[in-house]
Chain A
């Protein structure tokens, strides 16, 4: 099955995976909880074990627009890795979430301590960012729209 093979953890070498998991604590959140807000301090991040989370953007005068949902195996949050360490999006639990939670300053310190580990984590996060960027671009094509709106059938 591909779930494990494509998850954030599976992309790490066993030693790096073990090291990262050594920094994790297991957490759970019921549906509806807001995990973080746009522009808030990105001091934690998660790897989803089960359940799902919606990422949203605040639109003045409207409800937040959901731009993506994340589920099993996926990395929730990468803004903690790059300055100014503030969230780009908001996140709300969609269905009861079990996740490995990480303290961002601790992981950053571990990355600084061990450059090989740091590179692996950065590389893994960059892959996630690249995938999400590609998905966003694909979506900009208005993929499934009628042909006269710019997309073929």
Chain B
């Protein structure tokens, strides 16, 4: 889906907020006036904390004109956005970038692999797949987190499990954790999919993306059917400033979602 993004930030109001983990919160935004064009799962917005600056945030929920973002505080801007309370106003530009291309995967098994906050951009894809029963093959959602308390959307993961195969794993268990321990690739053995007709969607830190995609290729999933979401620092979001360059790609325009065929050679080059 190609829509013309709004390059001017439009005012949006925080209408709901939830703390997910110690450093991550989910905020729901609604337009104060004019709404942005519709977002597709995988696309991102440039969200402006007034007086601080703007950062790219993927949509983790799309409901009419309402946009939901999960934001992890790593610096000044993301910290300011995470701290916003209902009633606060932000500026939003978008939609930017490529989407997951879920409709093109009709008929194939779906394999969603998320690490850490990488689950956020995958959430609307999972919801879209769940909302279209029969359109896709088997849906597997594999989620890895550092610790149980860092797992995003735990209640939703349980709910999705009714219609999908949802497996979660943590690197370090605490006393109460009864689930799996190990990196997210260790869950691939327990996913249920036919590699030759599977489309995979992978988002997380780059080493995790690489480990997952390489493992999937070994299992027989076509590199072209492995879609990964890549991140680089972004500035303009419109393909003009060059901040988000990865080799020949400008990730704000040609990404963040690209096929493994395109991503692999670029990720293996040092100091691109």
Binding site for B on A (CB under 8 A): 1-3, 5-7, 52, 54, 63, 65-69, 71-74, 94-95, 134-135, 138-139, 141-148, 151-153
A-B pairs with beta carbons under 8 A, tally: 105
Answer yes or no: B156 CB below 8 A from chain A CBs.
no
Which residues on the B side are within 8 Å of A147 (C-beta)? 74
Which residues on the A side are within 8 Å of B169 (C-beta)? 69
Given contacts A135-B186, A143-B207, contact A2 B192 (CB under 8 A): yes
Judging by beta carbons under 8 Å apart, are A144 and B208 in contact? yes
Answer yes or no: B95 CB below 8 A from chain A CBs.
no
Which residues on the B side are within 8 Å of A142 (C-beta)? 146, 171
Q: In chain B between 175 and 194, which residues have their CB closer than 8 angstroms to a CB of chain A?
A: 175, 178-183, 185-186, 188-194
Smallest CB separation, A73 vs chain B (Å): 6
Answer yes or no: B63 CB below 8 A from chain A CBs.
no
Smallest CB separation, A88 vs chain B (Å): 16
Judging by beta carbons under 8 Å apart, are A153 and B116 in contact? yes
Which residues on the B side are within 8 Å of A6 (C-beta)? 188-189, 219
Q: How far is the CA of A71 from the CA of B169 in the complex (A)?
A: 12
Given contacts A66-B173, A146-B72, contact A74 B189 (CB under 8 A): yes
Judging by beta carbons under 8 Å apart, are B189 and A63 in contact? no
Smallest CB separation, A93 vs chain B (Å): 12
Judging by beta carbons under 8 Å apart, are B180 and A63 in contact? no
Judging by beta carbons under 8 Å apart, are A63 and B175 in contact? yes
Judging by beta carbons under 8 Å apart, are A141 and B207 in contact? yes
Q: Determine which of B74, B116, B194, B195 lies in contact with A143 in the assembled complex, contact meaning CB atoms within 8 Å.
A: B116
Q: Which 6 A-B pairs have the closest CB atoms?
A: A144-B116, A1-B192, A69-B180, A144-B146, A68-B182, A66-B181
Q: What's the interface size class on B, roughly? A: 35 or more
Which residues on the B side are within 8 Å of A73 (C-beta)? 189
Answer yes or no: B231 CB below 8 A from chain A CBs.
yes
**Extra 13 A-B pairs, beta carbons < 8 Å, given A3-B189, A5-B195:** A3-B192, A66-B173, A68-B181, A68-B182, A72-B189, A94-B178, A142-B146, A143-B204, A143-B208, A144-B146, A146-B23, A152-B231, A153-B205
Judging by beta carbons under 8 Å apart, are B115 and A144 in contact? yes
Return the chain B residue nearest A72 by Cβ: B190
Return the chain B residue nearest A6 by Cβ: B189
Answer yes or no: B145 CB below 8 A from chain A CBs.
yes
Which residues on the A side are within 8 Å of B185 (C-beta)? 135, 138
Smallest CB separation, B230 vs chain A (Å): 10
Q: How far is the CA of A67 from the CA of B169 in the complex (A)?
A: 11
Smallest CB separation, B167 vs chain A (Å): 9
Q: How far is the CA of A134 from the CA of B186 in the complex (A)?
A: 10
